Each structure stands twice: as C-alpha cells, then as structure tokens.
Amino acid sequence: MIVILKENPNPRQLDSLMTWLKSKGLEIHKSVGATHTLLGLIGDTSSVDMNLIKALDIVEDVTRISEPYKNANRKFHPRDTVIEVGNTKIGGGSLTLIAGPCSVESEEQICEVAQRVKESGATLLRGGAFKPRTSPYAFQGLKAEGIRLLKKARELTGLPIVTEIMDADLLPMFDDVDIIQVGARNMQNFELLRRLGKIDKPILLKRGLSATYEELLMSAEYIMAGGNERVILCERGIRTFETYTRNTLDIAAIPVLKTLSHLPVIVDPSHATGRSKLVEPLSYAAAAAGADGLIIEVHNDPEHALCDGPQSLTPEAFDRIAKNLQTMFGRNAVAEAQG
Amino acid sequence: MIVILKENPNPRQLDSLMTWLKSKGLEIHKSVGATHTLLGLIGDTSSVDMNLIKALDIVEDVTRISEPYKNANRKFHPRDTVIEVGNTKIGGGSLTLIAGPCSVESEEQICEVAQRVKESGATLLRGGAFKPRTSPYAFQGLKAEGIRLLKKARELTGLPIVTEIMDADLLPMFDDVDIIQVGARNMQNFELLRRLGKIDKPILLKRGLSATYEELLMSAEYIMAGGNERVILCERGIRTFETYTRNTLDIAAIPVLKTLSHLPVIVDPSHATGRSKLVEPLSYAAAAAGADGLIIEVHNDPEHALCDGPQSLTPEAFDRIAKNLQTMFGRNAVAEAQG
Amino acid sequence: MIVILKENPNPRQLDSLMTWLKSKGLEIHKSVGATHTLLGLIGDTSSVDMNLIKALDIVEDVTRISEPYKNANRKFHPRDTVIEVGNTKIGGGSLTLIAGPCSVESEEQICEVAQRVKESGATLLRGGAFKPRTSPYAFQGLKAEGIRLLKKARELTGLPIVTEIMDADLLPMFDDVDIIQVGARNMQNFELLRRLGKIDKPILLKRGLSATYEELLMSAEYIMAGGNERVILCERGIRTFETYTRNTLDIAAIPVLKTLSHLPVIVDPSHATGRSKLVEPLSYAAAAAGADGLIIEVHNDPEHALCDGPQSLTPEAFDRIAKNLQTMFGRNAVAEAQG
Amino acid sequence: MIVILKENPNPRQLDSLMTWLKSKGLEIHKSVGATHTLLGLIGDTSSVDMNLIKALDIVEDVTRISEPYKNANRKFHPRDTVIEVGNTKIGGGSLTLIAGPCSVESEEQICEVAQRVKESGATLLRGGAFKPRTSPYAFQGLKAEGIRLLKKARELTGLPIVTEIMDADLLPMFDDVDIIQVGARNMQNFELLRRLGKIDKPILLKRGLSATYEELLMSAEYIMAGGNERVILCERGIRTFETYTRNTLDIAAIPVLKTLSHLPVIVDPSHATGRSKLVEPLSYAAAAAGADGLIIEVHNDPEHALCDGPQSLTPEAFDRIAKNLQTMFGRNAVAEAQG
C-alpha cells in the first residue's frame, strides 16, 4: 500500500498516522519527492482500511498494491480451482449446466423437471426451497418439505442438488444438500458467510445487486478464511438505470473474475434480465466469454407457468440451448464427466 | 392492479392467467377497449408478483394501483408515527439527534463521547459493538463487551442506546438495547427482519445501497407484518457512479418516504459520503428537507482519529452543528422532551 | 396510451386533461372500473409526453401501448434492415468487422493498420480524425488532415471508412466519408441528429453512457424522421458503479434492440471496458449474443502504444480474434461479401 | 502525477513509457521502494491521459496529485467568483432565485410569470425557447420567437433572461440574452463549449445525467480555457436506479463543487425529480447545503398546467417558497442587490 501525502502535512498528524501504521505491524518506507512525500507500507495490509486512511486531512491518495483478498487471489493460486460434486465438476474448462425450477412445488414437478434437464445435459439440479421474497405476503417456499423433494429427485436422477440458504440457523436442514447457494441479497450477510466457512460443502455465491468485483471476492474470502475453499462465484446481473430488463448482465465479470481469482465463475442468465426470451442469447454469450457454467431456470408446465418465474424456460427450450452450446463450444460437463 | 393485455392474446394463455388470478382470491373486471383489453383486479393483490405477470407473453404492462405494503402505508395510517424511547421521541415534527462513535472501543471513550454529545443536544447514543466489515481480516467490533460498555454510558448519561445487529442469533444480547439497528447490507436479510417483527423494540432500518423506496418500505413491512410497528427508516446514501464520495445522499428520499409512509425518516450524513467535511452541510440539508432526525458519528480523540471512521466529527464540530440546527430550524428533540 | 386516474379525481382537473388530450387530436375511450377510471387514448400519441401526464395530481399511472418510435420500430418493419457500404453490408445475419486505430496519426500508421485489419477480415476501416476529449488541453485529433489520411488508406485497401463527427458545422468535411459516427456523448445532441437525418449516408449511432434502450431508439428516430433510414445502433458500455472497468458492456442490449427494432446492432468491445485484455472475450460474447458487427480498436505499434488507447489491440491479436470468430460462428462479412 | 509500476516491469516497455513522458515535457523523479518503483511526474500533466497510462501492462496504478482543471480550480483562485448580471449577482454568499416557465408560450404567459416571480423575489427570468426533446415529434419550442418574447418580458420587468442554446450555429440569436444555458445532454458537446468560451456572456452549465464532478469541472474548463471565465455550475439530478423520481438530486454536489472550484453552484430542484411536490423541500435543502442560487420552474395557469412540465409550481407556491427561504436563510439576491 502506498500513501501519498499532501504538500506540507501537519507534523503531529503525520506522526499519529505513522505510529498507528506501525501498531498494525507494518514497516514504512518514506520517499521524499519534489513536491510530495510518499509512504510505502510493507507487510500484511489486508486488515488496513484504505478508505479510512484516504480520508485523513494529510493524505492525498492511497493505492493498494496487493489485493485485500488472499485465499481467493489467483496470484497465490495460479491454477484453476475445480470443484467436484458427485460425477460432475465445476471449473477448469468444462461448461457445467445447472438447471431446475425457480421453486420446488411438488414431487411430480421437481422429478419431471429433473429428468428432463438431465436428458438435455444438465449435471446438477437447482430448485428453491426457501425463497427470498421482497414481500412478506408472498409465497416463501416449501422449506423443509422442498428440500425433501429435491432429495427425491436426486434419488431418481442421480443429479446432485443446489439450493439456497437464507439464514445460518437453517444449516442443519442443508446437511444433505450438495451445493449451498447464497443469494445476491445475502452476499454481505457476513455472519452467514462466516458460518459457511466452517462447513465442508461447496458454496455457490451470487454477486450482490450493486456489489463490485472486489466486494464479491471479499465475500468469497470470508468463506475461505474459515477453511472452506470450495466457492463458486456467480454473476447474476447488476442493478442499473435500465428498466426494460430487471437487471443488467455484466458479461465482463466473467473474464475479470477469472483473472483476479482461481475460483470457478458461473452465470445466471435467468435472473440477469428476468425475461425468458433473453436466456438463450445470454447463455451463448456467457459461454463465449469463458463461463465455467450456467444456472438456468426451467419449469415443466407452460400452462401454469405463472407459478414459476417469468424468466423460466420450458424443457424444450432448455434442450435446444444445451444442444447449441454443445455444438458451438464443444465443451460440456456431461461430456467431461463421461470422458 | 390493472393488467393491460397485448392485442389478440392467445386465448388459452389468457384462460390460464384468469384461472390463476381467481385462485389468488381476486375478482376480475374485464374491459374491452378499441385495441386492447384490460383486466382490473379487485381484492388483496399484495401477494401477487407484478413482475411475474408483466413478463407473460400475452401481457403488455401491469400497473399497481395500491402499494404492496399496508402497515407502512400512509394511506391507511394518515398520522405520523411517533416513537418514544426513554425521554425522547422520534417522528412527528421533532429533530432527534443520535450521535456517538463508529465503534465502541473502551469505557473511557464511549462515556466521554456520550457526555459530550448529550451536552450538545443529542438524545440518543449510537455506537457499534458488532461491525459489518467487508474484510474478514478487519476488526469486527468488541461484540458483547461493546454492548456492556454502551450500557455503562447509558447509566452515566441517561441516553438510550442504538446499536447494530448482524444476525438473528444474537438477539438475546440485545435484550437491554433501546433501539436495534439493521445495517444497509442486511436490509433484505428477510430472516432477520422476520425475527425483529416478533420483538417489542424500535428498529432503525437503513436503506440498502441500491434499494428503491418501495423495497425499503417492503422491508419495513416485513418487520411490521410480525407485529412490531415501531420502525424508523434511515436514508444513508446510495451507490452511484460518482467516486469522489463513498455514496450519494438521496435527499429526496426524505419527503418521498414521508409521503408514502407514516414512519419517521432519519438521515445518516456520516456514511452518506464518508467524508467528515460534508457532514455539516448535509445535516442542514436533511433538516431543511424535513428529516425527523440525524444519526451522526462523533469520536473523541482527534489524535487517534484513525481508529474511527473518516466520516467522524470531533465533539466540537458536532456541538457547532447541533447549535446551528437549533437556530436555523427551531426544533430539537431536547427542547421537545423538556417542553 | 392508457391513463389510470386516481380515485375520485377532481372534476375540473379531469375536464382540463380531457380537453387537452382532445386538442392533441386523440380520441378518448373512458372505462369506469370498480374503484378506478381509465382513459384509453386512441390515435397518434407519439407527441404526447407520458411523464407529463403521469405527474398530474389526478393521475395514478400511465402506460404506453405503442412505442414512441415508428421508423425504428420492428413492429412496422418486421424485416432486418441491411445497410450496404461498398462491398460490405451490415445487418441481416453477417458479422461485420470494423477495425482501426483510435486516432489517425500519420499516413504510414493508418495505411499499415488498414492493410493488416483487411487481411484479417475487417471490411470497414475506423479511425478518429476529430476526437472528443474530456480535457480541452488534450490532443483533439488531426481533423481535416485525419480525414484526408483515412481516404488515402481507403484508396490503398478499398475499405470504406467510418469516422466520428462532433458538430453539424463540420458536415462538408464528411462528404466523402462512408459512414458517419455519432459518439456516446452526442447521442442526444438533437441538432446534430436532425442534420444527419437530411443526408444520404449511413450513421453509426453510439448509445449514451446512461441512455436507456428507448432513448437510443428515439435518437435513431430523430435521424430517420428526417428521411435517413440507414442507422446502425452501437452498444459501447454504460456507466455503472463498477470502477475496475471504465464502462460495463450491456450484452442484453443486443437481443433487446434487435427485438424492438429492425436496425443493425453492433458492439464496441474496446470502449466497453477500456482494457485491451477484455476485448477478446467480449467480442466472442457479442457475436454469440447475435451482434451484427464489431467495431474494434487496433494499433500498429506496440512499442508506442501510448499514443493509442489502452483498449487497443495489436494487429496479431485482432487477427486471432477474427479467425476465432470465423471458426466459432461461421459468419463473417468477408465471407458474405465474397459469397 | 505518480505512476506506480508493477514488480519487475519489462525494461523495454518502461523505457518506452519514460521516453514518451519526457516527450510531453515532464521531468521524472524515480523512487525505488522495497517491492515497487514509483515515477513522480513533475511539470504540467494536464494534457496527460491518466487512464491511458493506468492501462499499460507495466503499470499498477496512477494517481493525480494536481487536478486536470486549472481555471476552474479553487486552489489557484481561492476567492469565490461572483457573476454580476444587470442588478443581480450570482455567487459569493447570496441566494439568487431564477424562475420562469419551462417553455415560452405566448407574450401574455411569459410577461405574467415574469411579473409574478419578480414580486416574489426572483432576480432572473428563465424560459425555454429551444427545447431539447427526446422525441422528434414533440414540440420543440417557439425558437427565435421565444427569445423575442423573453426580451419583451425583460423590458417589462427589468429581469435579465436565461435561456438554453442547443447548437453553436444558433449563437447569433442569443446576442441579446443575458445568460446562456447549456443543458445536461450537451454538457459534453465539446464544440459548443469551445464556442461559448469565445463569447463574453455568463454560461449556466448543467451537469450531465451521469457526469462526475470532475467531468462537470472539465466542461467548465473548456469554456474558461477559451477566455470566458463566467461559468455557473448547476446540479440538476443524476440518473440512478430509483424510478419513483425522474432523477436523484445529488445534494453533496453543492459543498463538493464549492470546495473544488471557485465557481458559483446553483441547483435546479424542478428537473431534479420531475415532481412539483418535491420542489419545496429540495429548495430548502439546497439553500441549507450552501447553494448560490436556485432555478425553478413556475407556470401561470394551473388549469392548463399540462402545457408546462409536471415539475412546475404555481406562482403562489413559488411565492411561499421564496418567502420561507428568506426567513430561514436570511439571504436573498433581491436583498443583496438592494442592500
């Protein structure tokens, strides 16, 4: 970290700053330039709040040289992290398809969708048991029963299951879930992240609606700092001024996150815009930009599609997309797994 | 709610939509226009997801006529909610000053700040015991010990205390806290909100970094739906493209929220920009725009200000602002309470 | 357009509204519902300002049924517009590559880049003669001389040229340019758009930094309303809170704009993020999402890359991307033109 | 400017960078630290593009020490700029009220509004003759006739007039206008700015919808670099994700711009949200935050308010606000002028 001081800094304030920095265990390399003095901080600066120093009266600017995340940082882990779940894997070159309904509604529904998406090439089943809903009056999911039904579908198809947790207290119910999802609105629920750092299960971490790349990686770091290194990053659209789509898919997040981190990066093209017609082009775009996987909403009953999100596809549409992805990009988790 | 159908809607899909709407207990008033057909939904639409209907193939647009929140809605509660805590009150015309350090650090620190801000006119003491930090490596607060020290300061000064909760599990520790704060990053931690709806204590609910007015009110509704009607809304800056300040204070939030809701609206001018020099003008602006109160960071040790946020004021600066507010706006919680 | 009135609207205000609407040549279809009254406006509402009506005291909400743009609207022109320039075409299924340096600097530079990008498959040459610069002290381009050099490069290679105009006054200098570009910062320079509507030359219209899809299409409409129907829409990144990249590429803009409009949609992956390393993945993503073309910055002198934008590629990198696009997507302007 | 190099920079690239920097007339102070090397650039860096250097492979980060604007910079002009127009002045402690209709519509209208707002304390008359409209089909203003009518109103009331220009070609028509306004959408119409730098008339420059503080100041710099130092900055709301209001007023812009620059800063509370009911609280907030003036829309015919913007006030409402401002803040342009 380099601190650029203002011209003629108040000596007492400078002294106070240097004492404080030393108390953090940092060595200071002072460099006096033509007009400005710089302080180079040597040591572990990950616990130093850059914004705090930046706002001091005597400081012109502060620049981090090393990122504040270590476990998630590609610099220290140059090789891609590949996460294996059952027969499938996420990361390292394959394009894993995760599919399933927005909410688990019945045994019939989840089992049928599971079979259909498996036939099309999905290797993981998603489905919401606990649903984060903006309104307290809206349907909040089947909860424990939803998880029970997901397991039924797993039994039937062999597909490992992914489902969202909303509070650390619910962890015991997720004992037998294969991948635990943290939703966008909980990306900075630090208590939840800390608790997930203590378990031995992959975590699918969604980017918050207005979270920066660094903040997403810091949230991954929370989990990893606890010892759980199996984190999957998920870009699912950010909030912008555009109102035609519910969110704006940040496609550059894929190559950027893969440069900064060794963790796998998947994309949710369903929530990214909230419009089912856009799932297809965005899926191809995400694969083309190097995503390690896609998590796509698929419902099985077009006649009653209302129960499902407007961003859901029919199994037929999902099948077409999965086949096209296979043709265009020649990489697919099924193929990999079978290989 | 009014649903505007596209021209020549597919009859089967229309049928499916109408059946589903009726299953939600709604009556439908169909109106056939020159080119388009409209469906007026009569009944309680608060559990109907507007985005979901909007995205149907046969639907052109959907408009809510009644807001999706009831308890928080001024239409049904025209009079201002006034929340009394100890000798002070929030809402209904007074300008309540809440002040204190970013983090509780020691008994000496919190007690001195408490006395100073009380002398200046603050009627509530704030201080962080559990600190939400972006980095897992940063100081996370004194936790239980922090709450113990806040109570010490309350004993000394008589000021009721406000402090932030980060997880529902911690609720027992907050038994003796006067107002519980929910931070911006937890505004949509629905499990936490639900739990806070069951307790008998005022909740200070901060607006999320990219939350709309409606979303903030829906989060208040979560708490109120559980039976706890004492919610204080807090505007604390939103995230925009501007990088000079950490956030952008949305000053219009004050009159808008007070129009839509009967709940008190306070402003946090410290976190709104992250720069202490802007606290003063933003405090005056917030008061001028009709805020029911201000929550301001004050630290007591300019020499070691680093331990505190860069947005903190000295007690002297806070005193000047408090006095100017009194002169300019002639309304102040102390005055009210003493009156 | 449908106007939803509030309950019990003030009769005088309603009268005034109806009189005003009729004065605009609209017929009004009034529909009285259980609680609310709706006004269906029949006729040409394109000159009616929706926001204006929405803000009236007696109005709850307003919904447009027909978009405010006609010439740019796919509803009235279902077939893709294909724009032919020299031997190449833009739109209708081909993937046109437009490439060249950020700024034209010398005859040698522009001619070499032109030859290199032509060999790789580009069918149009771009290069800035007039440069919009945030600072009045920065280099503003070679101006007339820059256009002269572009023509030299065209003579040599046969590639039609694309270059940016910054003011309608400069139009005479652009007489011999093949495609005139309007930059993001001029997207709502309505006088310029109006003037470009009167000429017979394709216009490449870039989306403003915070322009919605509808606003971009309305700017296209300005040009088309004047008689010039050859408009190419260009997504080049929007401004968000993320600071790692200069802008955020809105990949969904491609399928959305192509649904709403018949005009060709191209993507600028160079300015979208301002980082040359991201040009490759974003180019593939744009092609996969259905873009009709790409406009990419290429410089010829890595040793002096500073003169060029940091988002520029070397000719070698461009060649690799062009070849991969050909392999992956099997569609390319060269192929089309030669076919 | 300080350039922080990456560890072990490629020597040829470093050489190329140093040569280029020297060619810009800069002296380089090289400082070798424990892990990183820094380059301090001494001299006039205002023509150096920071983003360009930042994106080089060998560069970790770049920090400006001196702002890229000089004429607009308070560092070099510590005293407030006060702009005198007729009997009124803008800047330096007074609160100037500029008021008038959105569009000039008739002699009767503009003259009546002018008289009413003058009586209430406005010292400048605003009114649109050329209207920037998103739709080419919407009313574009009375143009030359509008300016003629504004002059009539000035003759009658003595109020100097402010009106918007949309293209440099129109300048001859603005010869007799007192203050020329540049709209938000033209804030980076650099040709227009350059031309306005050559005339001897105050310019009211509105902040673009997604322009940073620095970009606004750089646009002011464009005008000032040409010799015209009389620029008035205007905050008028920025574009965010919130849709309840048309824009979001950035109240912190007032103290920030006044810290960075010596130019007067005024606020447009009418366009900031597009809702007339919010004009009053936002006017008080802007005054409380230190604005040098307000520009407010006032129409004279509530029965036909539709012709005017939904953000317009009646003369009665404006009168109440003006009186309250006088009472609350004890500063007013009329008072100052008469004093």
Neighbours of A111 (CB within 10 A): 20
Chains that contact B by 3+ CB pairs under 8 Å? A, C, D
State the Cα–Cα distance between residues D197 and D199, nearest whole angstrom: 6
Listed by number, the residues of chain A in 207-236 with a beta carbon closer than 8 Å to a beta carbon of chain B are 209-210, 215, 218, 221-222, 225-226
Chain B positions in Cβ-Cβ contact with residue C248 (cut-off 8 Å):
none
Chain B positions in Cβ-Cβ contact with residue A186 (cut-off 8 Å):
188-189
Listed by number, the residues of chain C in 180-199 with a beta carbon closer than 8 Å to a beta carbon of chain D are 185-186, 188-194
**Per-residue confidence at C335, pLDDT binned at 50, 70, 90?**
very low
Half-sphere exposure of C48 (CA within 13 A, CB side): 25
Q: What DSSP element (H or E) covers D61?
A: strand D59-63
**What is the gyration radius of the CA atoms in chain C, in angstroms?**
23
Q: Of the candidates A33, A65, A241, which has its C-beta nearest D239's C-beta?
A: A241
* In chain A, % of residues over pLDDT 70: 95
* D228-243 confidence digits (pLDDT tens): 999 999 999 999 999 9
Q: Of the candidates B47, B215, B275, which has its C-beta nearest A55's C-beta?
A: B275
Structure tokens at D168: 């440099």
- The verdict on ipTM greater than 0.90 is yes
Interface size, chain A vs chain C, as Cβ–Cβ contacts under 8 Å: 104
Question: D225 vs C137: CB contact, 8 Å cut-off?
Answer: yes
Question: A68 vs B222: CB contact, 8 Å cut-off?
Answer: no
Nearest residue on chain B to C61, alpha-carbon basis: B63
State the Cα–Cα distance between residues A184 and B323, nearest whole angstrom: 42
C55 part of contact set with chain A, CB < 8 Å: no
* In chain D, % of residues over pLDDT 90: 67
pLDDT at C58: 87
pLDDT at C332: 44
Question: B190 vs A221: CB contact, 8 Å cut-off?
Answer: no
Question: B47 vs A191: CB contact, 8 Å cut-off?
Answer: no
pLDDT at C98: 98
Q: pTM for this structure?
A: 0.94
- Please indicate whether residue B13 or residue B259 has the higher confidence score (pLDDT): B259
Shortest alpha-carbon distance between residue B336 and chain D (Å):
20
Q: Mean pLDDT in chain B?
A: 91
Minimum mean pLDDT range among B4-18, B199-213, C139-153, C219-233: B4-18
Chains that contact C by 3+ CB pairs under 8 Å? A, B, D
State the Cα–Cα distance between residues B132 and B182, nearest whole angstrom: 11
pLDDT at C334: 40
Q: Give phi and psi for B215, each to the nearest 5.
A: -65, -40
**Residue B73: C-alpha distances to residues A2, B80, C60, C195, C254 (Å):** 50, 11, 16, 50, 40
C250 part of contact set with chain A, CB < 8 Å: yes
Whether the per-residue pLDDT at D281 is higher than 60: the answer is yes
Question: C38 vs B31: CB contact, 8 Å cut-off?
Answer: yes
* In chain B, % of residues over pLDDT 70: 95
CATH architecture of the region C83-338: Alpha-Beta Barrel (3.20)
Shortest alpha-carbon distance between residue B192 and chain C (Å):
27
State the Cα–Cα distance between residues C275 and C270, nearest whole angstrom: 7
State the Cα–Cα distance between residues A289 and C272, nearest whole angstrom: 14
A66 part of contact set with chain D, CB < 8 Å: no
Nearest residue on chain A to D60, alpha-carbon basis: A65
pLDDT at C59: 87
**Per-residue confidence at A106, pLDDT binned at 50, 70, 90?**
very high
* D307-321 confidence digits (pLDDT tens): 556 678 999 999 999
**Per-residue confidence at D82, pLDDT binned at 50, 70, 90?**
very high
Q: Mean pLDDT in chain D?
A: 91
Whether the per-residue pLDDT at A44 is higher than 80: the answer is yes
Q: Of the candidates A4, A40, A65, which has its C-beta nearest D65's C-beta?
A: A4
* A225-244 confidence digits (pLDDT tens): 999 999 999 999 999 999 99
Whether the per-residue pLDDT at B147 is higher than 80: the answer is yes
* In chain A, % of residues over pLDDT 90: 67
Structure tokens at A182: 């943290």
- Category of D177 on φ-ψ map: left (φ > 0), alpha (ψ -120 to 50) or beta: beta
Chains that contact A by 3+ CB pairs under 8 Å? B, C, D
- Please indicate whether residue A320 or residue D25 has the higher confidence score (pLDDT): A320
Bridge partners (DSSP) of residue B204 are: B181, B232
Shortest alpha-carbon distance between residue B111 and chain D (Å):
32
Whether the per-residue pLDDT at D337 is higher than 50: the answer is no
Whether the per-residue pLDDT at B330 is higher than 80: the answer is no
* C55-92 confidence digits (pLDDT tens): 778 888 888 888 889 999 999 999 999 999 988 999 99
Bridge partners (DSSP) of residue B84 are: B89
Question: B240 vs C243: CB contact, 8 Å cut-off?
Answer: no
Three-state DSSP at B57 gives coil
Question: A245 vs C252: CB contact, 8 Å cut-off?
Answer: yes
Question: A2 vs D38: CB contact, 8 Å cut-off?
Answer: yes
Bridge partners (DSSP) of residue B235 are: B267
Q: Of the candidates A136, A210, A310, which has its C-beta nearest B209's C-beta?
A: A210
Q: Mean pLDDT in chain C?
A: 91
* B175-206 confidence digits (pLDDT tens): 999 999 999 999 999 999 999 999 999 999 99
The angle at the Cα of A168, spanning A163 to A174, to the nearest 5 degrees, equals: 40
Question: A244 vs C212: CB contact, 8 Å cut-off?
Answer: yes
Mean pLDDT of C200-208: 98
Which residues belong to CATH 3.20.20.70 in chain C?
Answer: 83-338
* C228-265 confidence digits (pLDDT tens): 999 999 999 999 999 999 999 999 999 999 999 999 99
Interface test with B, best of C1, C2, C214 (most B CBs within 10 A): C2
* B297-320 confidence digits (pLDDT tens): 998 875 555 555 667 899 999 999
Shortest alpha-carbon distance between residue A332 and chain B (Å):
30
Listed by number, the residues of chain D in 16-45 with a beta carbon closer than 8 Å to a beta carbon of chain B are none
pLDDT at D306: 55
Q: Of the candidates B213, B254, B289, which has its C-beta nearest D242's C-beta?
A: B213
D59 part of contact set with chain C, CB < 8 Å: no
**Per-residue confidence at D304, pLDDT binned at 50, 70, 90?**
low
* B235-276 confidence digits (pLDDT tens): 999 999 999 999 999 999 999 999 999 999 999 999 998 888
CATH architecture of the region C2-63: 2-Layer Sandwich (3.30)
Which residues belong to CATH 3.30.70.1140 in chain D?
Answer: 2-63
Shortest alpha-carbon distance between residue B133 and chain D (Å):
25
C285 part of contact set with chain D, CB < 8 Å: no
* D213-271 confidence digits (pLDDT tens): 999 999 999 999 999 999 999 999 999 999 999 999 999 999 999 999 999 999 999 99
- Please indicate whether residue A48 or residue C142 has the higher confidence score (pLDDT): C142
Minimum mean pLDDT range among A91-105, A245-259, D43-57: D43-57
* In chain C, % of residues over pLDDT 70: 95
Q: Mean pLDDT in chain A?
A: 91
Chain A positions in Cβ-Cβ contact with residue D243 (cut-off 8 Å):
243
Question: D31 vs A31: CB contact, 8 Å cut-off?
Answer: yes
Shortest alpha-carbon distance between residue D44 and chain C (Å):
10
**Per-residue confidence at C177, pLDDT binned at 50, 70, 90?**
very high
Alpha-carbon dihedral sign for residues B320, B281, A59, D25: negative
The one-letter amino acid code at A64 reads R
CB D92 within 8 A of CB D82: yes
Mean pLDDT of A111-125: 97
Residues 6+ away with beta carbon under 8 Å from A43: A24, A25, A26, A27
DSSP-H helix ranges across chain A: 11-23, 50-54, 107-120, 144-157, 190-196, 213-225, 253-260, 279-288, 315-329, 333-338
* D91-100 confidence digits (pLDDT tens): 998 999 999 9
Mean pLDDT of C153-172: 97
Chain C positions in Cβ-Cβ contact with residue B4 (cut-off 8 Å):
2, 63, 65
Whether the per-residue pLDDT at C330 is higher than 80: the answer is no
Interface size, chain B vs chain C, as Cβ–Cβ contacts under 8 Å: 57
pLDDT at B13: 85
Nearest residue on chain C to D221, alpha-carbon basis: C136
A244 part of contact set with chain C, CB < 8 Å: yes
Q: B40-44: long-range contacts at Cβ-Cβ below 8 A with a sequence spacing of 24 or more? A: B40/B1, B40/B2, B40/C33, B40/C34, B40/C36, B41/B1, B41/B2, B41/B3, B42/C34, B42/C35
D60 part of contact set with chain A, CB < 8 Å: yes
Mean pLDDT of A205-217: 98
Shortest alpha-carbon distance between residue B259 and chain D (Å):
10
Interface test with C, best of A242, A267, A271, A279 (most C CBs within 10 A): A242
**Per-residue confidence at D333, pLDDT binned at 50, 70, 90?**
very low
3-state helix, strand, coil in chain C (%, to 5): 35, 20, 45
Interface size, chain B vs chain D, as Cβ–Cβ contacts under 8 Å: 104
Mean pLDDT of B49-74: 85
